Chains A and B, each alone.
Chain A
Amino acid sequence: MTADGGAGRGDVAASPSALPPPLPLRSSLDDIAWPALTAGNGPLLLSLDFQLRRSQWWSTDAIAGHQMRQLRELVGHAVRHVPFYRDHMRRAAIFTVAGVQQTSFLRWPLLARGAVRAAADALQARWLPPEHGRIDWQSTTGSTGMPVRVASTLLDGLIREAPMLRAFGWYGIDARGKFATIRPKVGRLTHATWNPVYEGMLDTGPLVTLNIAEDIDAQLDWLCEEEPDYLLSLGSNLRSLILRSRDTGRRPARLKVLLSYADQPPADLAALAAATWGAAVHDLYSAAEFGPLAFQCPEHGNLHVQSENVLVEILDEAGAPCPPGTPGRVVVTGLHNFAMPLIRYELGDYASFGPACACGRGLPVIASINGRSRNMAVDPTGRRFWPMINPSVWLSTPIEQRQLVQHAPGEIEIRYVAPRELIASEEAQVIEVLSRNFRHDYTFRFTRVERLERSAGGKFEEFVCLVAPT
């Protein structure tokens, strides 16, 4: 019997077909173990979890409506308390905070990454609601060569954790398991818990960390020794690990889920992970300035914008919103950072929206992330485009790893790691395919190197353009 006489649809937050593992919640109340009455950040994070589990199924329009409510709170704060934004309402021809709507917001000036460096002080709020907690500073990875320091509040930091908690459910991650990360800026360490933010609410399994600069054999040895259930690393690094594991037969036995982040996951990563490790791969698109931007759909592989955390726009060169399928500049507003509001911040990435996901979630879909502008090629006339290289071109060569570097509008260097120099016929074959792929006549030159360096953020860039924008 259902309420067909006018009551709303039942509020169902999960379905039995995809029941996530129970969270190992810790109850802080003597003698009440279940359901747990959590301490620490538990009530706050679980309150957000309750909401995010529902809001993901709202319609895209409903989600956008709630985002606008939050955006008006942020804008109202920014124009009053952040010097940088003092005149932004006027510049956008918006007369009241209530006038901030999806269409009027398109007139709000964009915030360039460089402007954040130049106006770091003016972007800091002169006053904050005390409830937002202490201010933390974060540095971005600086893969564009322009490191940026961003302030945010404790509250914003906690809200950023909520999508990850939801993602545990999406990906069937059991927080009692062992979690490994291989990334920059960490040492070879063991921590008792996955994240200090869970203290007092969640009894997670241990976290082990390793620096991504360690060589791939050392990484594989470490994985086989640690035997984690979950592994987070850059997509390119995960691929190298799996290939090495396949070649050597050394295999971490317990891995269930791999999480890739930071760089574009290689196209064959999911298939390799399934075939070699029997593990699933899910991609997390995030930015140090904002936290989670988009997480991969557990069912269909699309990237779902984490709309409860950020407002993501994709704009063409004229600043107009790109229709689905058309790549454009990724412009992000962090909805809850009142310490240093980043409103319509140009992330430097290029991406395109996709059509609604078949899973039924209303969270917008990012169909593809093309990369950063420095990963775009320049043709001899100065026009920028995304290089599309057929990966099979390398198969008939001894090349293990390569990077293409464009030094001048007509010149591309192929830097490669291989056990020997390429012979002339191999070079000719590669040039023939690349010339076809690039659709312009470039001068290609080959340089064999010992190793290819990652960027400061650990990202590995397959194509780098060093030609200054005209």
Chain B
Amino acid sequence: MTAPQQPSRPVSSVLPGLAWPGLPPAAGQAMLALQSQLDLTQWWTVTALAERQFAQLRLLIAHAVVHVPHYRDHLALAGIGSAAAVTPENFRNWPVLRKRDIQKDAARLLSAAPPPAHGEIGWTTTSGSTGQPLRTAVTDAAVLMQHAAVLRSQLWYGIDPAGKLAVIRMEADPPHSPGWGPPTDAVFRTGPTVRMSAFESHDAQIDWLCRERPDYLIAHNANLAALLRKSRTTGRTPAGLRAVLGFSDMAAPGLGRLVRETWHAGYFDTYSCAETGPLALQCPEQGALHVQAERVLLELLDDAGEPCGPGDAGRVVITDLHNFAMPLIRYDLGDIARFGPPCACGRGLPVLAEIAGRGGQIAVDPTGRTFFPRLNFDFWLDAAPVHQWQVAQLAADELAVRYVAERDLTGDEAAQLAAAIRKAMRYDYRIAFQRVGTIAPTPGGKFDDFIALPQTRQPR
């Protein structure tokens, strides 16, 4: 067995007289006990992981069919005799849960008797593309598992918790805090966190980053892209940034390279959703996204509801294995993704090769072809001083490009961009350009770089 030299980062200790090895408070010990398991499970085979996932799933289903009204008849609907008889094969018959099911009658998804040992029940508010807020209940135990994935990401990426962390999200409260938040604070002595709202202008965000000089930055991928662009056009670069953690939106191809070239920092992507937290983390060695199989069962389904073959794009359907307060079993996130081949790192955690944001982000052309609009980020930079952009499909053969910039694009720049878009989307679209003041995130805080035609938004 060989392993790289480890950063000798000591665990913080609260026990008098004990400095090393450290023993953190009970919450930290529980967190490290989980990490010590995740250290090993990440290397398990896909089969070994699936075996444990289904053992855990059977416990969740046994609870859900008894205590959660929505699921009362689901075993029968799926033609499964009992929770103990759930297998990967018959679980495919379990009805998919849609966002509108939760919006329509969230109360029916709440457990009437959540296990008391799972702790307090908290509420998470999110919103879908419809803009209608969605409230989900989650137990302390399920949050602990979410936190375990967050801490794992920091360990994977060699992040030094003593550093200063900057977070740009929708919410900026509180603007300053002394630590990094529960999972990291429970285990390590952490540096400070500073926060800013993603609704602030990119100029203001860059100014703030240059002033704060954080070691690490967490931000939406689309917001990051705009910030990088701003940095390149203005030459203002936050000094001392060591790594950037992108989340939420699909990372545009080349974003990692751009972070390295522009800010001289590492870049790592996290695929997460507000309802259940981190779903997949970028491999620390290879760059693919590893599904966090210890906490979430992630399926990809085709239009017929069947599992996608390798390489085929399908709807992301997830089961949070540990939330007994409001079990989300086979929950359709509205995202589209493809599984990738096994990762060269050797981890058995399944690999997501590609994630498109909402189901609505499917482009179409007049021949009826639908596809992910893979808009290569790089050509925007080469062509024009654009800070942020969005492509909207207006008709099968027509697109509008909305962009934020200091000035209008010149005719040449517009022509270059139009040519690049037509090449990327492999159709000779009519394209109109429109300079706008801002491009607002969706109510859920996502930045859509592509707005599809209404009829392609719900491809199922």
Contact = CB atoms under 8 A, between A and B. Distances in A.
B282 A32 contact: no
Contact of B263 (A5, A34, A162): A5
Best-surrounded residue of B19, B38, B155, B159 (most CB of chain A within 10 A):
B19
A5 B36 contact: no
A70 B15 CA distance: 12
Contacts of A13: 3, 6, 39
Contacts of A50: 11, 32-33, 35-36, 39
Contacts of A148: none
Contacts of B418: none
Interface stretch (A58-66, A116-124, A396-404): A58-66
Contacts of A62: 8
Interface string B24-40: 10101110111111111
Given A11-B158, A33-B56, A69 B20 contact: yes
Given A32-B59, A59-B8, A131-B15, A3 B266 contact: yes
B243 to A, nearest CB: 4
Contact of B159 (A7, A129, A308): A7
Contact of A298 (B1, B5, B21, B256): B1
B56 A34 contact: yes
B100 interface: no
A446 B95 CA distance: 86
Nearest to B11: A51
Contacts of A450: none
B242 A66 contact: no
Interface residues of A, number: 74
B8 A65 contact: yes
Interface string B247-291: 000000000100110011111100000000000001011110000
Given A9-B158, A10-B158, A34 B7 contact: no
A155 B14 CA distance: 13
A63 to B, nearest CB: 8
Given A38-B33, A66-B8, A5 B266 contact: yes
B145 interface: yes
A57 interface: yes
B34 A35 contact: yes
A6 B217 CA distance: 13
B55 interface: yes
Interface string B275-312: 00000001011110000001100000000000000000
A57 B15 CA distance: 25
Contact of A55 (B21, B33, B295, B347): B21
Nearest to A35: B37
B117 interface: yes
Nearest to B38: A35
A49 B144 CA distance: 19
A74 B17 CA distance: 7
Q: Which of A18, A19, A70, A74 has the most CB of B within 10 A?
A: A19
B10 A66 contact: yes
Given A15-B1, A46-B33, A77-B17, A6 B40 contact: no
A299 to B, nearest CB: 7
Contact of B26 (A43, A335, A338): A43
A262 to B, nearest CB: 26
Contacts of B145: 35
B156 interface: yes
A10 to B, nearest CB: 4
Among A44, A299, A308, max chain B CB count under 10 A is at A44
A62 B8 CA distance: 7
A34 B19 contact: no
Contacts of A132: 15-17
Given A11-B155, A19-B43, A129-B17, A46 B294 contact: no
B242 to A, nearest CB: 4
B243 A6 contact: yes
Interface in A40-55: 42-44, 46-55
Contacts of A131: 15-16
Residue among A5, A30, A159 with the most chain B CB within 10 A?
Answer: A5
Nearest to A170: B1
A32 B141 contact: yes
A359 B30 CA distance: 30
B1 A11 contact: no
A8 interface: yes
A10 B34 contact: no
A31 B59 CA distance: 6
B19 to A, nearest CB: 4
Given A13-B3, A14-B1, A33-B56, A7 B157 contact: yes
B267 A55 contact: no
Contacts of A20: 40
Contacts of A31: 59-60, 62-63, 115, 118, 324
B148 A35 contact: yes
Contact of A57 (B5, B141, B324): B5
Interface in B229-247: 241-243
7 contacts: A6-B243, A7-B265, A12-B284, A34-B321, A47-B11, A51-B21, A335-B20
Given A6-B265, A31-B60, A57-B6, 12 more contacts: A5-B242, A5-B260, A10-B4, A17-B1, A34-B56, A35-B148, A36-B37, A46-B33, A48-B21, A55-B21, A70-B18, A162-B21
Interface of A: 1-20, 22-23, 25, 29-38, 42-44, 46-55, 57-59, 62-63, 65-67, 69-70, 72-74, 77, 129, 131-132, 155, 159, 162, 298-299, 308, 335-336, 338, 359-360
Closest 7 pairs (CB-CB, A-B): A3-B266, A8-B158, A1-B287, A18-B1, A16-B346, A46-B33, A43-B29
